[in-house]
Amino acid sequence: MDARMMDAMSADMMSMPGMQSMDMGLMQACMDACAACEQSCTVCAVQGMDCAPSSMNCADMCNTMMRSMLRMQGMTPASMMAMLDACIAMCETCEDMCLQHAETSEVCKMSAQACRACADACQALKESMAV
């Protein structure tokens, strides 16, 4: 995302109680990981394997997480933490399901890796908020 957008988002967040210390670099990394995970899970789901329902749920959760971070109005630290927890849980579930096919499906392997990266990015953002 370009610097002007991040500056605008940062200014919005500074006006919200409890969100003034949000690390915008970690937030950007989390949004990027959510976008990549959404895309890979959507591709994975069309394969029709038994990980498909989990993949679509994960894609939806990642999209919701990313969109929530893009429009911070109405977000509180508690709601952000809950959203991050939900995204982490969904990514870990999907990762586990996709890993069952990772040896035979490059798409499932890619999806599992994207899920892990997204869960890690969400966890990093969450940990930065707890400080």
List pLDDT tens digits, range 81-96.
Answer: 999 999 999 999 999 9
Burial class from Cβ neighbours inside 10 Å (0-12, 13-18, 19+) for residue 119 reads buried
Q: What is the pLDDT of residues 25-76, one digit of tens each?
A: 899 999 999 999 999 999 999 988 899 999 999 999 999 999 998 887 777 8
Work out the burial of residue 61: count CB atoms within 10 Å of its CB; fewer than 13 is exposed, 13-18 middle, 19 or more buried: buried
